[in-house]
Amino acid sequence: MIVTVTANPSLDRTVQVRKLVRGGLNRASSIRVDPGGKGINVARALALHGVAVRAVVAAGGIEGEQLVALLAGISVDVVRVPAVGPVRINMSVVEPDATVTKFNEPGALLDARDARALADAVLRLADGAGWVVIAGSLPPGVDSTYYAGLVRALRAFGVPVAVDTSGPALREAVRAGPELVKPNLRELEEIVGHSITTIGDAAAASDELRELGAGTVLASLGADGALLRGHDGDGYAEAPVTAQNAVGAGDALLAGYLSEGCGGLPALVTAVAWGAAAASLPGSAMPQPHDLRPDLVRVDSRMPWDRRLQRDP
């Protein structure tokens, strides 16, 4: 069983337009709504591949009810922790060339009582879990050390923890010593404080995360694939992508890695196959088994240090 934690879930509304006209009238050619938030996306991807998963979410309001209903429709086991405010709604406007313009709400205030209830629910469910995945942004009202506290508590239970967040919450959580951290390129740059232009730069930044406390770093590099640094091994992998919408691709990548259960280069290949498939799907859809092409993943245990990144994380 894998347990995912989403403190700031969302309803993700994806609108396709023929051309985005700033300040003008834009007519949608298609619309879809998906349950969202990084932890929820990881749970969705795992459930579609038959991996036992339970999603713990803080979800309030009518929007929270809709979120739970959407997850139930794809057989995700949801543990809903009531919250005072409604679930946020995020919008992605997608143009024909796959350019995505995003509008993300900050989320509703999560007060101290609700934050404690969420942590208590996670700790109750963690016993015997193969992994606990702490993923996504923190909602307003929650201190940046919240995820770090969860990591420490889970480690005391002997449960392996994967973290995927950003900003101060990422730095604090890494210092707590999670087994796995999944940053993207921008998050790596936030940690090291400078731009990253090559695979070698990304590997060096990943090593800095390990020095801060991460056991293994799985860095998603968008169109440039992903790299692995740490206890699980070192390697780089990429796959061709016909991108429709990259929203959620990094979450699918993390889910694919965890689905293998063993880590290392075989898990990296699976991760990249899942991430590439997600980027090729509309909206924030997660890939199903028939969407995967692991045979197209190119893996290299030797890092192509000097290769320049396309800057599309």
- Above 90 in pLDDT, residue 100? no
Residue 84 inside a domain? The answer is: yes
Residue 230 inside a domain? The answer is: yes
Mean pLDDT of the chain: 92
- Tokens for 70? 């959407």
- Above 80 in pLDDT, residue 313? no
Rg (CA), the chain: 18
Residue 197 inside a domain? The answer is: yes
State the pLDDT at residue 311: 61
Tell me the mean pLDDT in the region 293-299. Answer: 94
Residue 312 inside a domain? The answer is: no
Residue 308 inside a domain? The answer is: no
pTM of the prediction? 0.92
Residue 193 half-sphere exposure toward CB, CA atoms < 13 A? 3
For residue 267, the domain's CATH number is: 3.40.1190.20
| pLDDT tens-place string over residues 138-149 | 999 899 999 999
Residue 250 inside a domain? The answer is: yes
Closest CA to 311 of 196, 229, 211: 196
Find the domain containing 270 and state its range.
2-20+27-300
Residue 306 inside a domain? The answer is: no
Q: What φ, ψ does residue 197 adopt, rounded to 5°?
A: -120, -15
**Counted domains in the chain:** 1
- Above 60 in pLDDT, residue 60? yes
> Which residues in 223-250 are b (16+ Cβ under 10 Å) and which e?
bbbbbbbbebebbbbbbebebbbbbbbb
As annotated, the active-site residues are 251
Residue 305 inside a domain? The answer is: no
